Amino acid sequence: MAEPFDRSEFVAGYLAEVEEHLENANGQLLKLELAVSTGEPQLRMTRELFRALHTIKGLSAMVGIEPIVELAHEIEAALRIRGQSASPLAKAAVETLFRGVRAIATRVRAFAQQRPVEPAPKELLSALQALQLDHPSAVALQVSTLTLAVELTNKLDAGELAQLTQGVRAGLVALRVDFSPAPDKAARGLSITSVRERVSKLAEIVKVVPQAVAKSPSAPTGLTFVLLVLTQSSPEAIAEAAGGEGSLVSTIELLEPEHEALEELTAEAESETLQHDTIRVEVSRLDDALEKLGALVVTRFRLDRAVRELRASGADVRPIEAILSEHRRELKHLRGSLTRARMVSMQQLLERVPLLVRGMARDSGKQVQLTLDAKRAELDKAVAERIFPALLHLIRNAVDHAIEPVELRRARGKPEHGTITVRCSERAGNQLELTVSDDGGGIDRERVARKANQPVPSDDRVLLELITRPGLSTVEQANARSGRGMGMDIVKRVAVDLLGGQLSLHSERDVGSTFTLRLPMSISILDSFTFRCGPQSFVVPLAMVDEIVELEGEQVLSAPVLRPGPRDAKLLRRRGEDIPLFELATFFALTPAPGLRSALVVRREREACAFSVDHMLGQQEVVVRPLEDPLVKVAGVTGSTDLGDGLPTLVVDLWALSRLAPRETSRTKGRA
């Protein structure tokens, strides 16, 4: 008797695959919604949405989740008819499709959490079935004839023909671009791949058709690629993108319409997927590789220590030092490769945001336009998973609190649509800068002060301190999305306390607000400074330190305090600026060593402070072990590392330590 099918083997792969197709489906729905409002062609998005749902249906059938199969089938059927008839979707139809995809996502989450998967809602199934009935006949459709050669027309399916037709009707130019590979073109870096990439920046490529032709000087290989495109650019610009001189570009015209039946899209065409040179790897495997890399880094520290001891005993260690130097470079390259493997694109991370903003705007009754500018920024997956909830809190606050209702925006002379902009960019020092801006009403400082029972904040820094207090909310009554006073507190705890980043704010009344987060791209292996205080070594991330100062010859002044204590600051006069100077050893009950001292200067926005240490040991990369046990986690210490001596070395957050200084002393920072 055959063994029963064990679907548990496929669950992880199924969930990963379906999640990817759900994200694609939601993205296509957002594009469809925009196309409906602007009157642009919809066929391409409809086809891509069909392919996503077709794949979800097939995968769900393999693991036996019938409610998802049923929902996907009804959506697929509605889209199939739209694709056949090339008839546009109405706004209400797009909303129904959104509901269908949300219902599928809900059941996928239930399956992932091993909860019962609810049956497909009958009311939703009826609404999806109604979409199949509400369409023009797919038998006798009016389709304009294109001036294309018969051999090319036969290579296009009904959807592609309709896509070209709708594009021309919408005011785009349809072009045929012929590219023939040749040795001289290859020498200039021109291949069908590079030409396709260049043309796609100026035009929408509908189809690329390879054709065998007679060999000639213009087609020495006997092969020509025909690119059928829709564009707003001139034929000359497209010809230049296709290789310049010798590129053949001709316009595709529309003739008088005639009645003809469209063939049904084949399942093969509908489920067509692009092949990518990628492979899915479980994060746990990358974590394991990074763990082993961390062990190699610690072993290298031990080797360095052993070589130093041999050198001190008089041994000739120059051959070993050369090998160690090469090993250090190779280890650095290996670290870079593993780190890149763990990186996720910010563009990919933000793909879910437009759909969330759409839902928030719909629930709040506001009109919100979202702009995403992620460039090529990347972030370690561990950091991305931690920061995404904080990012959602910022966006939710912008929709709920910042963006005004339509009537108020109109009265203030603003566009009816409020704008939220999310930008990402990489910064020096292995940091990512993430900004969330809005053009709303700005933060009401007086209202915040009343809620916090504090004086009206004089600047943005004090305002940020108030709004990040746990439990503080300016909303009179909490709703399902906000008003509990936890959002900004969570943002600060994640960005600053957990990740060791920075959070800043700029807000203008009736103009808008901008929150800026600066985050480390990785939190596992960091470039850092190592130093000693008394008998103990410490580590501080390189990105945290503004500069290192030798205290000999520097002007150090006594600072006035109300109640003297061991953590009192002095003042370090630096370039005409007096900044608090703390003795780091006193924070850890250590005795400073006599002799030449150094100071580490850290800076947040316009504030700065310095910590005096006994001796700088150097700069190196370290493997950070976070301290997550509440019994050992303390303010100012973010983790520990091993420098090769087998002893734990603390990784310190100097800025957090400065906040532990007495209140009277910390007031001197206002002079920074």
Please give the full DSSP string across 483-515, using - where no structure is assigned. -SS-HHHHHHIIIIIIT--EEEEEEETTTEEEE
Question: What would the mean pLDDT of 54-71 be, rounded to a whole number?
Answer: 84
Q: With contact defined as beta carbons under 8 Å apart, do 528 and 542 qualify?
A: yes
pLDDT digits (tens, 9 = 90+) for 286-320: 778 877 887 787 788 788 888 888 988 888 888 88
Answer yes or no: is pLDDT of 500 > 90.
no
Give the CA distances from residue 359 to residues 248, 266, 362, in Å, rounded to whole numbers and listed in that order: 47, 34, 5
Name which of 149-158, 163-172, 459-468, 652-661 the model is least confident about.
149-158
Is 438 strand, coil or helix?
strand
Name which of 115-119, 135-139, 336-340 the model is least confident about.
135-139
pLDDT at 259: 34
Highest mean pLDDT among 16-30, 493-507, 516-530, 635-649: 16-30
pLDDT at 422: 92
pLDDT at 661: 67
Question: What would the mean pLDDT of 124-137 be, rounded to a whole number?
Answer: 71
Q: Alpha helix (H) ranges present in 235-282? A: 235-241, 267-270
Name which of 230-234, 344-348, 461-465, 668-672 the model is least confident about.
668-672
Highest mean pLDDT among 127-136, 365-374, 480-489: 365-374
Q: With contact defined as beta carbons under 8 Å apart, do 60 and 71 qualify?
A: no
In whole angstroms, what separates CA 523 from the centre of its chain? 17
- Consecutive H or E run containing 657: helix 654-658
Answer yes or no: is pLDDT of 414 > 80.
yes
pLDDT at 514: 93
Assigned token pair, 217: 């000087």
pLDDT digits (tens, 9 = 90+) for 221-245: 888 888 898 988 888 888 888 877 6
pLDDT digits (tens, 9 = 90+) for 559-588: 665 444 555 678 888 877 888 888 888 888
Is the four-CA dihedral 152, 157, 158, 160 of positive or negative sign? negative
Q: What is the CATH number of domain 525-671?
A: 2.40.50.180
Confidence of residue 2 (pLDDT cuts 50, 70, 90): very low
- Consecutive H or E run containing 575: none
Confidence of residue 5 (pLDDT cuts 50, 70, 90): very low
The domain ranges of the chain are 8-133, 141-270, 284-338, 345-520, 525-671
More confident residue, 485 or 519: 519
Assigned token pair, 25: 């489906």
Fold type of domain 345-520: Heat Shock Protein 90 (3.30.565)
Fold type of domain 8-133: Four Helix Bundle (Hemerythrin (Met), subunit A) (1.20.120)
pLDDT at 515: 93
Please state the pTM of the whole predicted model. Answer: 0.60
Confidence of residue 252 (pLDDT cuts 50, 70, 90): confident
Q: How far apart are CA 407 and CA 533, in angstroms?
A: 61
Answer yes or no: is pLDDT of 9 > 80.
no
Q: What is the CATH number of domain 141-270?
A: 3.30.70.1110
Name which of 231-240, 365-374, 484-493 the model is least confident about.
484-493
Averaged confidence pLDDT in the chain:
79
pLDDT digits (tens, 9 = 90+) for 163-187: 787 778 777 888 998 888 888 888 8
Answer yes or no: is pLDDT of 484 > 80.
no
Confidence of residue 250 (pLDDT cuts 50, 70, 90): confident
